[in-house]
Structure 1
Amino acid sequence: MENEDADHRPGWGRTCSHGCLLPLRIIITLMGFFALICAYTNRVSLSHVITKLVIPINRTATNGKAGEDVCPKEEEPKNDKGYNNEGTYEWSEELQGLVLGSFYVGYLLTHLPGGVLADKFGAKWILGICIFISGLTTAFSPLALEYGAEWGLMAIRIIMGAAQGPVFPALTTLLSYWVPAKERGSLGTFCYSGVTAGTVISNLCSGFMLHFYHWSVTLYVFGNVAVIWFIIFIFLCSSAPKTHPCIKPKEMAYLQEKIPEKTGKLPIPWKKMLLSKALLAVIISQMGHDWGYFVMISCLPKYMADVLQFSIRSNGIVTSFPFLAMWCSTLFCGFLADWLIRTGKMSRILERKLFTFIAAFFPGLFMVTASYAGCNKTLVVIFFTLSLFTMGPYFAGQKLTPLDMSPSYSGTLMALTNGLGSIAGLLSPPIVGVMTPNATLNEWRGVFWLAFAILVSSAIVFWIWGTAEIQSYDPNSSAQKD
């Protein structure tokens, strides 16, 4: 039953006595976590599927044996009856890069409109519909490929990217209404860790499904799971506490106390935002991180398949290890960040900068080191695992700064930073394709050196100009009130 006396603050008064088993902010965080899992399984699965769509490169090594640039091929066990997913498309490395990168064409275009709409009208339906469309386009990808070949696949991937563009801005807006600042490191980081969890699930499940079933099954499964998530989400979640039909008075009072009240649909202060050095630093840092991360999620399966020549099932397993390590690191760093700030051992600004730098320097270093491990598959997997493990602090660093800088316009800020960061996703697969026409170890080594340089230089920019302080253009800042 609704409790009308629970609160007298305008816009905050809708409560019920029975509530839910879990606090609603936990449920919102969990559904955001699963939303990103759906988004990334939809996005990443093609990186595995494409290894079975394309006729593999003829690996005849110099003098008939494996040399520095050609690793011995891993054969499937003879008694292991897998599905015969033989490649049928003669796509060059450059064309494969264009197919993988086409997603980011649409992704780049819809970030800003999605963020603005989420800030002005609420995030629930924007987030929900975007994941729903992403699921549909994933499930229809085999049909697009059948009737349109590479152009049909690229077209539907552009639509998928456009659907996923507003996801991060909408999710950030949702968290700004439901997650207090002191829980931002743990709950916010857990929510964003769905990116890594989705990549783990995609890599692991894709490997097994591609081994035992036709490649289209992988896309059907991930697409339909996203549709199921949408149905559950629209019944469980709302854009803000005040619009949820079933929130306990105790949680309502807690959220009122800890989260500044939104002042309404104010005009967005574009000029102040865009002329801010802090925003520029966040954008550059996002682009640098995304370059390194997108190289890994889009191209690591191809590196393992084309260079180290793992079998498809082994490829799925070994590419899941690094992302599983990153997921564990992300969760630990989220709680560590909250503890460091809460106990006064580190300021919020220093924590955000230090974690961002760690998550750039060491991942780049270990990527390069992996390329010098040659065909020692165990060492390569260890170094890639260390690379992504040390990238885990990123989500408790720079990724939280749009929420820190302006809770009122967090969706718009996330749209600007994540949207422009997606330029790295648009450019990296085609550039990697151009740099690796023969998919050799030496060619890939140049890719990892480039990623190292971009990661570190972008983190240095964030260290100099980045901030976690609420900005003067936010209605709740002290400067604005003065």
Structure 2
Amino acid sequence: MWRKPEGDFEVVETPKYERTGTWRFILAGLFAANLFLLHAMRLTLSVSITAMVNSTSSDPESLLNATCRSPHLINTSLANTSTTEPVVERNGEFNWSKEEQSRVTYAFFAGYMISQVPGGYIAQTYSFSWTVGVGVAFTSILTCLTSFAARLSLYALLALRFLEGIGEGVITPCIFVFVTKWVPIEEQGFLLNLVASGSTLAMVSTMPLSAMLCASDLGWPSAFYIFGFGGIVSCILWLINAADGPEHHRWISREERDYIMEYRPPSTKRSPKFVPWRRMLLSPVVILLSIQSLAKCLNFYTILTELPSYLKYMFGIYIVEDGLINGGIHLGTASSLVFCGWAADKIIKERILPKSVVRRTCIAVSGFIPALCLATIPFVGCNYEVILALILLNCICFGFSGGGDSLLALDLAPKFAGTLQGIVGTVSHSSGVIAPMFVGIMTNDQDSLLQWNLIFGSLAVIGAVWTALFLTFGSTEEQEWARDEHEAKDDITTLCDE
């Protein structure tokens, strides 16, 4: 047996041989590199579009009329002049309205959402390594064609971004399949969040790097070419080195192969032939987890996509030009995710706390403290430093999900973790579309401190309520429908009959 119950604790027995071998860590690093480049391809458009679109001003009036004044602006003569940012002549080649620019963002997330479940199912049932390889290659090639599509027409760019979303969307559920196939149970939290941190680190570096490339003589297309070509190289390295399990790998040592196969969950040692779709989709725990993840990601995507607008219109500064703010926030999130995943594994392994207590504690911290941070912002007025500190703390505490709900697909249904994460991801990542729409409705294109305070207050209430509901009615234990494959087959028949 790979584990034995001892009271409320789950005890992982120590292997009888040394834990030699590093291939699981090499593959985790390659996977993280793929995610880094995929998210760089996604995010670079948000910077490059400022160079693509024809605009003769960086909107100095919005800075002059900023509701609050940041100390940076107050301490400079710019605060007393007609503008707080030099007017920059931008002769972009495309005359796209704000609405048309927003459609480009929505197109990506539309494709990203609808491909999560198919991606998880294909990876779980057939091959996760080839699903990752094809998804990265497909997205990278399309990224290299961005300038061609944009110059062809806006609709060509919309179609390309939609297809890019599909290509990237199949990758996220593959993380969970990789972990169930390649990672011993006591290392799953750390390695899963190490892989996932690749996407967060992309948020730290992509914006300033893309801005430098757009401002260079190479022009805005260079950002897409560089990240797209990098994705192709990363894909080739992945396909050369990856396999669907240690038992299929060409170069892994016998010791590492035996260690992984003995100490990974036994239910994942073979791919399932049937998925209990009906009971999975109708499971109260899955529904609660999906909505709770949506509420939490609504907070995250609002900060990710709308923080530049908030700082611009409230304080008169540009977050794109303040790499310290942008980098600090996302680096804090990435560090917290990896550390909390490692700490959760360590606490469970050392039997300090039961797994269920660790998971629920991390869920509570990642839900309630960010809600408290956002709820506090309206009470600090225009205190720039305190607001930034609260936003940073909000994102760091969000990283506690690395030891909590980010791992629940592995706990609830280890055999179907990829498919389950596809379902949860489809719901949660819809916040990438909902967040800018929500902010647009709340501000009505007339940003004021009161409107933004209402936004932060609403996000706080939504996050706290759904966290409380999941902690009250949800579960962190393996579900009954995830255990019996014969019942899964009957479930498919019932679903088809209906």
- TM-score under structure 1 length normalisation: 0.84
One of 242, 245, 269 as aligned partner of 1:240: 245
- In structure 1, what is the equivalent of residue 137 of structure 2? 132
Listed as ranges, the gaps of 5+ residues in structure 1 are: 1-20, 76-80
Report the equivalent of 1:285: 292
Structure 1 residue matching 2:153: 3-state secondary structure: helix
Cα deviation code 1:124-167 (max 9, x no counterpart): 01111112222223332233222223x44332221111111111
Alignment of 1:20-419 (within 5 A): 23-54=22-53, 55=55, 58-60=59-61, 66=65, 68=67, 85=90, 93-149=98-154, 151-212=155-216, 214-259=219-264, 260=266, 262-305=269-312, 307-311=314-318, 314-370=321-377, 377-419=384-426
Deviates more, 1:328-337 or 1:303-312: 303-312
Q: Take 1:452 and 1:211, find their aligned partners in 2: how far apart are those partners?
A: 38
Uncovered stretches (5+) of structure 2, i.e. residues with no partner? 1-19, 79-85, 489-498
Instruction: Give how far 1:232 is off.
Output: 0.8
Give me the whole-angstrom Cα distance separating, in 1, the residues matched to 2:461 and 2:328: 24
* CA shift in 2, pair 1:292/1:262, >3 Å: same
CA shift in 2, pair 1:182/1:469, >3 Å: same
Residue in structure 2 matched with residue 444 of structure 1 by the alignment: 452
Moved more, 228-237 or 253-262: 253-262
Aligned equivalents of 2:436 and 2:201: distance in 1? Answer: 22
Q: Tell me how far 1:368 sits from its aligned partner.
A: 5.0
The letter of the residue matching 1:159 is L
Contact 2:112 2:167 in 1 (8 A): yes
What residue in structure 2 maps to residue 461 of structure 1?
Answer: 469
1:207 shift after superposition: 4.0
Question: CA distance change for structure 1 residues 274 and 52 in 2, over 3 Å: closer, same or farther?
Answer: same
Give distance in 2, aligned partners of 1:212 and 1:144.
22
Aligned residue pair count: 453
Q: 1: distance between equivalents of 2:114 and 2:66?
A: 44
Q: Take 1:304 and 1:90, find their aligned partners in 2: how far apart are those partners? A: 26
Cα RMSD of the aligned pairs, angstroms, is 3.2
Q: Secondary structure at the match of 2:115?
A: helix
Separation in structure 2 between the aligned mates of residue 407 and residue 190 of structure 1, nearest angstrom = 19
Secondary structure at 1:68 match in 2:
coil
SS of 2:457 mapped into structure 1: helix
Q: CA deviation at 1:417?
A: 0.6
Q: Is the 8 A contact 2:319 2:326 kept in 1?
A: no
Structure 2 residue identity aligned to 1:430: M
Deviations 1:259-278 (A, max 9, x none): 21534442111122123222
Superposition deviation, residue 412 in structure 1? 0.6
Q: Deviations over 1:361-413 (max 9, x none)?
A: 22233345456666655444333222211111112210111011122111110
- Cα 1:140/1:300, change in 2 over 3 Å: farther
Q: Calculate percent identity across the aligned residue pairs.
A: 24
What SS is found at the alignment partner of 1:193? helix
Are the aligned partners of 2:66 and 2:316 in contact in 1 as well (CA < 8 Å)?
no
Q: Match of 2:307, as an amino acid?
A: L
